[in-house]
């Protein structure tokens, strides 16, 4: 064998074996009596204390529950007919892959917290797989594979809450399905065409086919694709959203009746006890509208409480209603809604310019506001920007340097904050400012491009009068 080739193969083998040695395996044993908590070292044969551990939840009687922050592993497998559950406040970070259903069927219940996946999120490695997401945030640095590329397994995801962030692609094939209700899916690129293809195939649905998928690119989030599900009842507050505590108006859109011209009465149920609505043992205790001809109803709420409600419709002549899904919202203090004025294009006059800046703040509570300069041109010969009254919504700022200034207004209601930014572009004169605007065109006859047709342009024209630079000009 060629000596160089032999040496290369030896190096590759050494690197491969080194990589295997570096990754330690943490096997789930579920040996601690009664808790099944990830954070309990007694539940592992080797506790995944660093990101050098490969965490395998494929053994044990019960699955693992994560309820602590700061947990780490290299990569993770869920299988063995077990469930991995992530609770509110928990956090797990892995630089490599999260795999559901390797070495047996696996289920991932994402109820809250944050899971950061450094590479791919793979459903159905060698078995069917399920992911139920009702809260929290999953961040995938590369692709989501449903199922694992090259495999053919039935895999499903319920995106019924939380935020599912995918940096690259969602890769779905036959056998993969996703139902979106109160959750949101966000991509770091324009994936509208790909998602529409999955919708057309029936692989992605909203409210189990009783709603529609709404998506946009570069609208809800700059430079990103946002995908949401909307039920045909179009509930307000939005399902999974939030509303200011106090008096909240529930509203919905009625479906068309089976017989044109007939009314569509509704039963409406409202409670802070999800099980009371799910079990439906005493519906009268939580019913707030009984076969009423209504499209809204006001309810009283208290802060820091999640409420659940449902609208059942009587669309036909029979007495049996069409059951609606369970919607939810959190009654809480809502961050101030801040809207700064439009961006400004201006120019200096005698070395500086004063620009009026303003904004509106909407909040049910009193707020304080503060303007700050986020960034400004780096010009040592010009003074920094000066805001006349940084605490006023409507104020003025004095600018001297040429270039871009970014300002931020933050409003604070004592608990939560909201903000918006305003950009100001400063040019040397009004002509340069005009040239920066989209669609600017020079006037016919403005030879020197100074934004006016005057004697200077005429002098240039006369100086060149009858000159010729064509190939057949006389004297060439």
- Average pLDDT over every residue of 362-372: 94
Residue 338 burial (C-beta neighbours within 10 Å; 0-12, 13-18, 19+): buried
CA distances from 202 to 150, 153, 186, 195, 214 (A): 21, 17, 20, 11, 15
Residue 5: pLDDT over 80: no
pLDDT, tens digit, for every residue of 25-40?
A: 999 999 998 899 999 9
φ, ψ for residue 57, nearest 5 deg: -105, 80
User: How far apart are alpha carbons 466 and 475 in whole angstroms?
Assistant: 13
What is the predicted pLDDT for the residue at 319? 73
Residue 3: pLDDT over 90: no
Task: Please check whether residue 57 is in contact with residue 80, taking contact to mean a CB–CB distance below 8 angstroms.
Answer: yes
What is the predicted pLDDT for the residue at 86? 97
pLDDT above 90 covers a percentage of the chain that reads 83
Residue 114: pLDDT over 90: yes
pLDDT, tens digit, for every residue of 115-141?
A: 999 999 999 888 999 999 999 999 999
User: How far apart are alpha carbons 148 and 466 in whole angstroms?
Assistant: 74
Lowest mean pLDDT segment, chosen from 74-83, 183-192, 278-287, 313-322: 313-322
User: How far apart are alpha carbons 72 and 95 in whole angstroms?
Assistant: 9
Other beta carbons within 10 angstroms of residue 399's beta carbon come to: 25
pLDDT-derived band of residue 20, with 50, 70 and 90 as boundaries?
very low
Domains of the chain (ranges plus CATH)? 3-231 (no CATH), 241-332 (2.60.40.10), 337-435 (2.60.40.10)
What is the predicted pLDDT for the residue at 21? 44
Q: Which residues contact 73 (CB under 8 A, 6 or more apart)?
A: 26, 48, 51, 53, 54, 55, 92, 94
- Average pLDDT over every residue of 370-395: 96
Task: Please check whether residue 240 is in contact with residue 309, taking contact to mean a CB–CB distance below 8 angstroms.
Answer: no
- Average pLDDT over every residue of 179-191: 96
User: How far apart are alpha carbons 376 and 156 in whole angstroms?
Assistant: 49
Scored b (16 or more CB within 10 A) or e, 437-464 reads eeeeeeeeebbeeebeeeeebeeeeeee
What is the predicted pLDDT for the residue at 288? 97
Residue 348: pLDDT over 90: yes
User: How far apart are alpha carbons 22 and 473 in whole angstroms?
Assistant: 79
Which residue, among 229, 175, 237, 177, has the nearest Cα to 207 in the 3D structure? 229
Specify the pTM: 0.76
Residue 380: pLDDT over 90: yes
User: How far apart are alpha carbons 172 and 227 in whole angstroms?
Assistant: 16
pLDDT, tens digit, for every residue of 221-242?
A: 989 999 999 999 999 999 999 9
Residue 111: pLDDT over 90: yes
Interstrand relation of 64-66 and 82-86 (parallel, antiparallel or unpaired): parallel
What is the predicted pLDDT for the residue at 372? 97
E strands in 46-124: 53-57, 64-66, 71-72, 75-78, 82-86, 91-94, 98-100, 106-110, 114-117, 121-123
What is the predicted pLDDT for the residue at 230? 96
- Average pLDDT over every residue of 297-312: 96
Interstrand relation of 225-231 and 184-187 (parallel, antiparallel or unpaired): antiparallel
User: How far apart are alpha carbons 273 and 44 in whole angstroms?
Assistant: 36
* Termini Cα distance of the chain: 72
What is the predicted pLDDT for the residue at 127? 92
Task: Please check whether residue 390 is in contact with residue 372, taking contact to mean a CB–CB distance below 8 angstroms.
Answer: yes
Lowest mean pLDDT segment, chosen from 95-109, 305-319, 413-427: 305-319
What is the predicted pLDDT for the residue at 473? 84
Residue 303: pLDDT over 70: yes
What is the predicted pLDDT for the residue at 125? 87
Residue 18: pLDDT over 50: no
Beta bridge partners of 231: 211
Enter the DSSP assignment of 466.
Answer: T
What is the predicted pLDDT for the residue at 60? 87
In the predicted model, what is the mean pLDDT of the chain? 91
- Average pLDDT over every residue of 236-259: 92
pLDDT, tens digit, for every residue of 255-294?
A: 988 888 888 999 999 999 999 999 999 999 999 999 999 9
Residue 403: pLDDT over 70: yes
pLDDT-derived band of residue 317, with 50, 70 and 90 as boundaries?
low
- Average pLDDT over every residue of 64-85: 96
């Amino acid at each position: 064998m060629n000596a160089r080739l032999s040496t290369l193969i030896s190096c590759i083998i050494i690197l491969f074996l080194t990589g295997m040695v570096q990754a330690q395996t943490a096997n789930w044993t579920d040996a601690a009596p009664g808790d099944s908590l990830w954070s309990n070292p007694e539940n592992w044969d080797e506790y995944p204390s660093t990101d050098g551990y490969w965490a395998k939840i494929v053994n044990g009687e019960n699955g693992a529950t994560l309820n602590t922050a700061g947990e780490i592993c290299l990569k993770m497998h869920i299988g063995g007919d077990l469930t991995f559950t992530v609770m509110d406040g928990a956090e797990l970070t892995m630089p490599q892959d999260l795999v559901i259903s390797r070495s047996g069927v696996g289920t991932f219940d994402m109820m809250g917290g944050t899971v950061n996946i450094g590479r791919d999120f793979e459903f159905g490695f060698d078995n069917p797989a399920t992911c139920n997401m009702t809260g929290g945030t999953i961040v995938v640095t590369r692709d989501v594979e449903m199922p694992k590329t090259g495999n053919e397994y039935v895999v499903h995801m319920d995106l019924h809450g939380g935020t599912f962030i995918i940096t690259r692609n969602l890769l779905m094939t036959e056998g993969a399905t996703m139902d979106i209700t109160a959750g949101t899916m966000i991509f770091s690129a324009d994936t509208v065409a790909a998602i529409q293809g999955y919708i057309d195939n029936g692989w992605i649905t909203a409210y189990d086919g009783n709603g529609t998928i709404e998506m946009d690119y570069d609208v809800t989030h700059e430079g990103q694709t946002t995908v949401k599900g909307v039920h045909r009842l179009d509930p307000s507050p939005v399902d999974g959203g939030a509303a200011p505590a106090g008096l909240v108006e529930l509203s919905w859109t009625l479906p068309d009746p089976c017989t044109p011209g007939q009314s569509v009465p509704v039963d409406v149920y409202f409670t802070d006890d999800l099980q009371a609505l799910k079990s439906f043992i005493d519906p009268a205790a939580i019913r707030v509208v009984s076969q009423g001809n209504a499209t809204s109803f006001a309810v009283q709420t208290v802060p820091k409480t999640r409420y659940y409600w449902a609208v059942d419709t009587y669309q036909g002549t029979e007495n049996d209603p069409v059951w609606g899904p369970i919607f939810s919202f959190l009654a809480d203090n809502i961050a101030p809604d801040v809207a700064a004025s439009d961006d400004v294009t201006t120019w200096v006059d005698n070395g500086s310019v004063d620009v009026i800046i303003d904004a509106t703040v909407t909040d049910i509570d009193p707020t304080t506001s503060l303007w700050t300069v986020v960034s400004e041109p780096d010009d040592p010969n010009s003074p920094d920007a000066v805001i006349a009254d940084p605490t006023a919504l409507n104020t003025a700022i004095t600018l001297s340097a040429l270039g871009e200034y970014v300002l931020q207004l933050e409003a604070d209601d004592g608990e939560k904050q909201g903000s918006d930014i305003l950009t100001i572009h400063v040019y040397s004169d009004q002509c340069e400012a005009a040239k920066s605007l989209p669609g600017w065109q020079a006037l016919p006859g403005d030879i020197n491009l100074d934004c006016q047709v005057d004697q200077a342009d005429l002098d240039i024209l006369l100086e060149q009068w009858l000159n010729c630079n064509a190939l057949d000009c006389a004297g060439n």
